[in-house]
Amino acid sequence: MRKISGWMAQIGAAMSEGGPWGGRGSDGSSDSGDGSGSGKGPRNPWSQPPPGGRPRGRGPSALDELLRRGREGFGGGLPQRPDARQLWPILLVLFVIIWIALTCVHRIGPQERGVLLRLGSYAGTMRPGINLSLPAPIDSVSTVDVEEIRTINIPSGAGEKLVLTGDQNIVDLAYSVRWNIRDAALYKFQLADPDNTIREVAESAMRSVVATVSLNETIGAGRTEIEQRVQQRMQEMLDGYRSGILVQGVAIKQADPPEAVNDAFKEVSAAQQTAQTYMNEARAYAQQLTAKAQGEAAAFDKVYEEYKLAPEVTRRRMYYETMEEVLANVDKTVVEAGNVTPYLPLPEIRKRAQQSGTSGMENGQ
């Protein structure tokens, strides 16, 4: 505000002393354009001489003098016409400031790590947050996402991946490997092609593990154990390479015989299942017979205990029960000493009576 007030005061002084149309002389008459004081109007209002001075030829005009005084009132703060030679240093300084701001300040995300290179050599790893470095090209920073779970499918496209099992059979395997980055610096500098390296390590580990198991384990319930062993084997190999990679898991998606022998393998599998069914039925029947024999043996043990308490009574009772069971359904003849004594066959008479009654009913109908 002080600068503006001073500038307005300078303008007022300039207008009172000698405005752009000329000031008044000591006698109150207007000065002419040529400074003679004849009272005539100025021929050129922008080329008046300063008050009390002599006429000027081609000096600065009153407008230039007004602008000069205004700049002085503002402390030289009013803009002048820029010169190209004066702009180049300013633009260069601005460019340097922007370049330093863009290349020295780095924002690293929560899932990222920044690998810092100084003159092409590894200088450190930046943690999540705002990090500072020297300006480029002295320092350069490349960010790596270490939390992203990457997946590699083997085989990568349509086709077979034949693997030899421990019992000299061939199986067609399809599996996937999940992994992420554990050390960003090792991942950037130790492996030229990480994806290809992981693929080859996975194939090597899978073949070495499957070569120790049978075909039935590979295509059956042994998959989980195979996956765990392959993951452990892969991690050991990658740690030996100092790859900075962490294997999250291995999943077997397909384990089938080769396509050329798939039909025959299905027939063999069906026959094996049928044989297993028969074996299960035989075991169940054997268990039933064993249970029955054990029950009979337990009953005999009870009879034997009674027999030991009264051998004669038990022997006679067993004899009577056995004869009753044998003679129940046969014709009997009593033979006494000296002759044969017939007996009245009551069961046979009763049987004949029933048969004759049935015949009469049929004839009556």
pTM of the model: 0.51
**Per-residue pLDDT tens listing for the chain (365 residues):** 444 445 455 555 544 444 444 444 444 444 444 444 444 445 555 455 555 555 555 556 666 776 677 666 555 544 555 566 777 888 888 888 888 888 888 888 888 888 989 898 888 888 888 888 888 888 888 888 998 999 999 988 766 788 989 888 888 899 999 999 999 999 988 888 988 999 999 999 999 999 999 888 888 888 999 999 999 999 999 999 999 999 999 999 988 887 777 777 778 878 988 999 999 999 999 999 999 999 999 988 888 887 888 888 878 888 888 888 887 777 666 666 666 555 556 666 677 777 776 666 666 55
d(CA 303, CA 308): 9
Cβ contacts of residue 203 below 8 Å, gap of 6+? 154, 161
> What is the SS3 assignment for 357?
helix
Listing DSSP states for 66-135 in one string gives: HHHHHHHHTTS-S-----HHHHHHHHHHHHHHHHHHHHHEEEE-TTEEEEEEETTEEEEEEPSEEEE-PP
Burial of 69 (0-12, 13-18, 19+ CB in 10 A): middle
